[in-house]
Structure 1
Amino acid sequence: MMAKQGLGMVQGFGMVMAIVVVMGSPGMMVQSAGAAIPPLSDQKLREYSTHIVIGQVMAIRSKEVAVPYGKNYDHAAKVKIATLEKSQSMQLKAGKVIEVYYTTIKERESGWAGPQRQSRSLKRGEKVKLFLSQGQDGKFYLLEPNGWEPIE
């Protein structure tokens, strides 16, 4: 009888532990399952873009910004346009320098889930294809999370 009770206690303890692990760590499950959004397909990048620009990154300004759930970096990149694949503006043309805005994450609180912003930063001197959306403020923003590609 003692062996059965002992076995029952072990089984019961195992079930309690499983419940504690599953219920005790929802942040971990949400963080790994919901923290990042999948990259946009090439079709979606083209569809959602108001402008597709091929150019070279001339300069980047970055500023650390505190947000309620951690810290971000806000970036402004100056890009010299080489060619346009798509544009809804007659003002954009080869040779023009535009400013492109995007955000990357510096840090987040444990268990945080939400938009990841840009998955990587632009680099000075890099040749790139940019998938842009022009805001109502007239500024150009990279689509998220993968609004640019390096050009070899």
Structure 2
Amino acid sequence: MNRSDKAAIIERLKSHAENASIAVVTDFKGMPVEKMTELRCALRDIGGEYHVVKNTLAGIAFTGSQHEVLSSKLKENCAVALGFEDPVAVAKALVEFTKKSKTFSIRFASLEGSFLSDAQVGDLAKLPGKQELLARALGTMNAVPTNFVGLFANILRTFLYALNAIKEQKEAA
């Protein structure tokens, strides 16, 4: 690989890493190509990417970016999974793939510049996804006006029952 190819790889990975909210370093030693393709497709479906890059090139690409904490820890064969939209979805996909493959493992990650161990990535995968969190927030915001309307409807209903009772009392007398 010549110098211009290496520079192109570094620039491409650097631009992708700057836009990524999470970068997960994984071990793929001994993984067949079919499994790696399956992982790449799963990550692409949720807004992620999977790159196999030399450690020195990845270290240079991560230097100066928000995932700089990873640049000094890259050793042996490793690959980088980048997530752009929902970091929890990427963590879930990688943890799920770890359960399926004996040769694949998560080493560590960077979530918006914060270092995460493999156990912390597993904990991140247990959190609800972005869509579920948005649905919960919307449900909570919707509950307040709904309860408010219900409260006033109950007050009006009670008032109408009282007026109806007074009407019936006057008609009986």
TM range (shorter): under 0.3
TM-score, length-scaled by structure 1: 0.22
Structure of higher CA gyration radius: 2
Greater fraction of residues in helix: 2
